[in-house]
A and B are shown apart, each in its own frame.
Chain A
Amino acid sequence: MSGPGMSGPGMSDPDSARAKLRRILALVKKESRQMIRDPATIAVGIVLPVILILLFGFGLSLDVRNVPLAVVLQEPSAPAEDLLSALALSPYFHPQVVYSLEAADRLMMAGDVDGVLTIPADFARRFHAGNARVQVVVHGTDANRARIIESYVAGAVGAWSVRRAADDGTAMDGGPVTIQSRLWFNSANDSHYFLVPGLIVLVMTLIGAFLTAMVVAREWERGTFEALFVTPVRSGEILLGKTIPYFCLGIVGLLLCVAAGKFLFHVPIVGALAVLLGASMLYVLVALGVGLLISSYFKNQLVASQLTMLATFMPALMLSGFLFDLRSMPVGIRVITYLLPARYYVALLQTVFLAGDIWPVILPNAAVLALMVALLGYASRAVTHKRIG
Chain B
Amino acid sequence: MLESLLRILALTRKELLAVLKDRRARNSLLLPPILQCLLFGYAATYDLNHVPYVVLDSSHSVAAQDLLGRFDGTGLFERVADLGTQAQVRDAVDDRRALLAIEIPQDFARRLQEGAGADVQIIADGRNSNTAGTALGYAQSVVDDFNDRWRADHDQPGPPVTVEARAWYNPDLQTRWNMIPGLIGTLTMIQTLMLTAMSVAREREQGTFDQLLVTPFRPAEIMAGKAFPSMLIGMIQATGVLLVAQLWFRIPFQGSFLTLYCGLTLFVLAAVGTGLVVSALCQTMQQAMLFSFVIIMPFALLSGLTTPLSNMPLSLQYFTFINPLRYAIDIAQRVYLEGAGLGVLMPDLWPLALIAAVTLAAASWMFKHRLQ
Name A residues whose Cβ lies closer than 8 Å to a Cβ of B. Answer: 40, 43-44, 48, 52, 55-56, 58-65, 108-109, 127, 130-148, 150-151, 153-154, 157-158, 160-161, 164-165, 172-187, 189-191, 193-195, 206, 210, 214, 218, 298, 300-303, 305-307, 309-310, 313-314, 317-319, 321, 323-325, 327-330, 332-333, 336-337, 347, 350-351, 354-355, 358, 360-361
Contact = CB atoms under 8 A, between A and B. Distances in A.
Nearest to A154: B163
B160 A131 contact: yes
Contacts of A141: 169-170, 178, 333-334, 337-338
A175 B289 CA distance: 59
Contacts of B160: 127, 130-132, 161, 164-165, 172
Interface string B106-140: 00000010011111111111111111111011011
Interface of B: 22, 24-25, 28-29, 32, 36, 39-40, 42-52, 67, 93-96, 99, 112, 115-134, 136-137, 139-140, 143-144, 146-147, 150-151, 156-171, 173-175, 177-178, 187, 190-191, 194-195, 198, 202, 285-287, 289-290, 293-294, 296-298, 300-302, 304, 306-308, 311-313, 316, 333-334, 337-338, 344
Given A44-B290, A133-B161, A183-B129, A58 B316 contact: yes
Nearest to B31: A310
Nearest to B301: A56
Contact of A333 (B39, B115, B300): B39
Closest 4 CB pairs of A and B: A140-B170, A186-B126, A173-B117, A140-B167
Contacts, number: 347
A58 B312 contact: yes
B132 to A, nearest CB: 6
Determine which residue in B40, B46, B294 has the highest number of CB atoms from chain A within 10 A of its CB, and name it: B46
Contacts of B156: 176
Contacts of B32: 306, 310
Q: Is the interface of B mostly helix, strand, loop or mixed?
A: helix
A190 B129 contact: yes
Contacts of A40: 286-287, 290
B24 A303 contact: yes
16 contacts: A59-B298, A131-B157, A133-B162, A133-B163, A143-B175, A147-B137, A150-B173, A158-B159, A173-B117, A180-B122, A184-B126, A193-B129, A194-B129, A301-B286, A317-B300, A350-B127
B48 A325 contact: yes
Contacts of B307: 59-62, 195
B164 A134 contact: yes
A148 B133 contact: yes
B202 A302 contact: yes
Nearest to B181: A141
B108 to A, nearest CB: 8
B158 A131 contact: yes
B343 to A, nearest CB: 12
B302 A310 contact: no
A179 B124 contact: no
A92 to B, nearest CB: 13
B123 to A, nearest CB: 5
Contacts of B46: 143-144, 323-325
Nearest to B122: A181
B163 A361 contact: no
A298 B23 CA distance: 12
Contacts of A161: 159-161
A328 B45 CA distance: 9
Contacts of B128: 194, 321, 323, 325, 350
Nearest to A138: B167
B188 to A, nearest CB: 12
Contact of A176 (B44, B150, B164): B150
Nearest to B29: A306
B24 A181 contact: no
Contacts of A65: 311
B29 to A, nearest CB: 7
B306 A323 contact: yes
B161 A59 contact: no
A60 B126 contact: no
Contacts of A307: 28
B83 to A, nearest CB: 15
Nearest to B121: A180
Given A180-B119, A361-B96, 17 more contacts: A55-B316, A130-B157, A141-B338, A143-B173, A144-B46, A146-B167, A175-B144, A176-B146, A181-B124, A183-B124, A301-B198, A303-B24, A309-B194, A310-B191, A329-B42, A337-B43, A354-B127
A177 B146 contact: yes
Contacts of B140: 151, 179
A248 B94 CA distance: 32
B42 A179 contact: no
A137 B127 CA distance: 30
B40 to A, nearest CB: 5
A143 B164 contact: no
Nearest to B187: A314
A330 B40 CA distance: 11
Contacts of B286: 40, 214, 218, 301
A138 B172 CA distance: 11
A155 B248 CA distance: 37
Given A146-B173, A180-B122, A301-B285, A62 B130 contact: yes
Contacts of B143: 177-179
B178 A328 contact: no
A140 B337 contact: yes
B95 A136 contact: no
B137 A151 contact: yes
A263 B353 CA distance: 41
Nearest to A148: B133
A355 B118 CA distance: 30
B365 to A, nearest CB: 24
Given A175-B159, A180-B120, A328-B47, A154 B165 contact: yes
Given A145-B308, A178-B118, A183 B126 contact: yes
